[in-house]
Chains A and B, each alone.
Chain A
Amino acid sequence: MTNPNGRFGQHGGQYISETLMNAVIELEQAYNHYKNDPEFNRELTYLFNEYAGRPSRLYFAEKMARDLGGAKIYLKREDLNHTGAHKINNVLGQALLAKKMGKTRLIAETGAGQHGVAAATAAALLDMECVVFMGEEDTIRQALNVYRMRLLGAEVIPVTTGTATLKDAVSAAMREWTSRIVDTHYCLGSVMGPHPFPTIVRDFQAVISREIKEQLREKEGRLPDAVIACVGGGSNAIGSFYHFIDDPSVRLIGCEAAGRGIDTFETAATINTGRLGIFHGMKSYFCQDKYGQIAPVYSISAGLDYPGIGPEHAYLHDIGRAEYVPVTDAEAVEAFEYLARTEGIIPAIESAHAVAHAMRLAPQLAKDQIVVITISGRGDKDCAAIARYRGEDIHE
């Protein structure tokens, strides 16, 4: 799906400073070698299965389906992975690759903290140093994850520039990588940034759709009618979509964080409100003003609070292969509470955006149709913030 120069249609590319060019070229060469190396793949599969707990469950949410009165609903339980989210898939792959490349230090950005926790975890496991950049605003929203990262031996650097959220953490990590390349790998957390990151991260996350396909074949003997996942940068979504892209009967639906609504400025719904631009190493859609200044986006979810979207999603949108729908804070919080009550599963507030759209869609579908929702992470980290949203102040 990737062109040789990392293009997805008009999107992608390598818009970075010259200082980083040889680093991404070296990374691409190493990746092209190791992705076909049986030993690398054996080690990665071992880590996936024995350490991260893969394959993750595909759970039939029978109560939810009955309650909504439409399609059959399956939940792809990435929340059950070690560290509690899909982020571990990518991080184990990249950390192992970095180690093979002789790197001894991982740096990472994080929004909700899930990618940072995963990076800190992989670094601990593989004996690497780890530094995580996190917007100061997010260190407050996700204090528990900051503590987890420190516990795992990582250094967490609060980023105070700009809006002090995910995009600023990415900028800070890019700046750090520019100053220290030889021993350091930038473990990017989503399908974004300069080539080859969108391809590498997608390939490591594609295990999600590969498993969904196999598991559903076993349980139902057929393909799903729709796969729904939340989209910030878009790593769990592309992972959930990838092996269905060539199956046109499967609707692929990405749920963007609309924040307080796509008709307000307090939104992070890139496809619905952004336009084509160049930022953080890639050409894609971005929330920006008329002069190309990147917009200060907003979502209740720190993990979706990003003004851009991965280039492959932008391409899937252009060719009409995937749909991208906005989900507001209010809808996501309701879905968060609904899934907890109905299935006894507390999803990450990010994943709750996907649950919210499934709640709209499922009742419109026939009883024999099948919807898969990727629960990208668990919601423990969000409980205090959701309580606050509901006007209840609890101590973590």
Chain B
Amino acid sequence: MSKIKNAFAGGKAFIAFITCGDPDLITTAAAVRAAAQNGADLIELGIPFSDPTAEGPVIQGANLRALKGGVTTDRKLAFVRELRQDVTIPLVFMTYANVVFSYGAERFIAACAACGIDGLILADLPFEEKNDFLPLCHEYGVDLISMIAPTSADRIATIAKEAEGFLYIVSSLGVTGVRSEITTDLAAIVNVVRANTAIPCAIGFGIATSEQAKQMANYADGVIVGSAIIKILEQYGAAAPEHIGAYVKSMKDAIR
């Protein structure tokens, strides 16, 4: 069991998603620190992928900007090592299977452990394929985070039983991105999750406002926000960290 449980120790967790290198690593470092100082309990660091098939336009844009800036996997690992000098909250990488596979799964996961990454989320790695990476994650002590979707139905129990770190519950159909309304019966999903695992669960996809965060926190142990933060980066660029800090604070306050 990794440090990830610490993120949920002090009540409802606020989880922020930030793409590494959007628009550059200096801004990312400042954004991560601003989020952490303003109440983020865990941060998902996105490693950009050229063809992010699970992302909506906002995070696709972040991936593109980061790749244009030439941020490679090696530089991101060094970047986390640098962050770890003062950032103590759990950090997980979120990316696509090919980024890890192509780097060499063992080389990548060993490097994650060495630089202080606590978990790994791979958007295109369902339960059936997790054995490509799971034994290595166990060997190096990195949690492989599982996802549950509105369509998971009878898969929920199976996935939950073997889940580790935290469970990422996808709020709605479709790709990542801000939504005005979330209509999935999340209470029912969380009930099945609770009956099958003791690990915490957090809801993500489409959450942008403090009202939505509050509502989602009623069901789960935490909320995950990505696109709304990326939009701030898109809007303010290098000046975004300050705005991200204020935003994270308002969201965290809403779910306390």
Residues of A within 8 A of B (CB): 5, 13-23, 161-162, 167-168, 171, 174-175, 178-181, 275-281, 286, 288, 290-294
Contact = CB atoms under 8 A, between A and B. Distances in A.
Nearest to A294: B50
B151 A180 contact: no
B123 interface: yes
B51 A15 contact: no
Interface in B92-129: 96-103, 123-129
Interface in B51-76: 51, 53-54, 56, 60, 67, 72-73
A281 to B, nearest CB: 7
B135 interface: no
Contacts of A19: 54, 149-151, 170, 173-174
A294 to B, nearest CB: 5
A14 B129 contact: yes
B67 A293 contact: yes
Interface string B124-165: 111111000000000000000011111111010001000000
B51 to A, nearest CB: 5
B124 A291 contact: no
Interface of B: 49-51, 53-54, 56, 60, 67, 72-73, 96-103, 123-129, 146-153, 155, 159, 170, 173-175
A interface, over-half SS:
mixed
Contacts of B125: 15
B163 to A, nearest CB: 12
Contacts of A18: 126-127, 146-149, 151-152, 155, 159, 170
A16 B102 contact: no
A13 B173 contact: no
Given A14-B126, A17-B54, A292 B101 contact: yes
Given A21-B149, A178-B54, 7 more contacts: A18-B126, A19-B149, A19-B170, A278-B98, A281-B124, A291-B102, A291-B103
Q: Which 9 A-B pairs have the closest CB atoms?
A: A292-B102, A179-B174, A19-B149, A293-B50, A278-B97, A292-B98, A18-B149, A18-B147, A278-B98
B53 A171 contact: yes
A162 B128 CA distance: 29
Contacts of B60: 161
Nearest to A277: B98
A323 B10 CA distance: 60
A22 B97 CA distance: 20
A293 to B, nearest CB: 4
B155 A21 contact: yes
A22 B175 contact: no
B171 to A, nearest CB: 11
B65 to A, nearest CB: 13
Contacts of B150: 19
Nearest to A161: B60
Contacts of A276: 101
A278 B155 contact: no
A109 B153 CA distance: 28
B147 A17 contact: yes
Nearest to A179: B174
A171 B155 contact: no
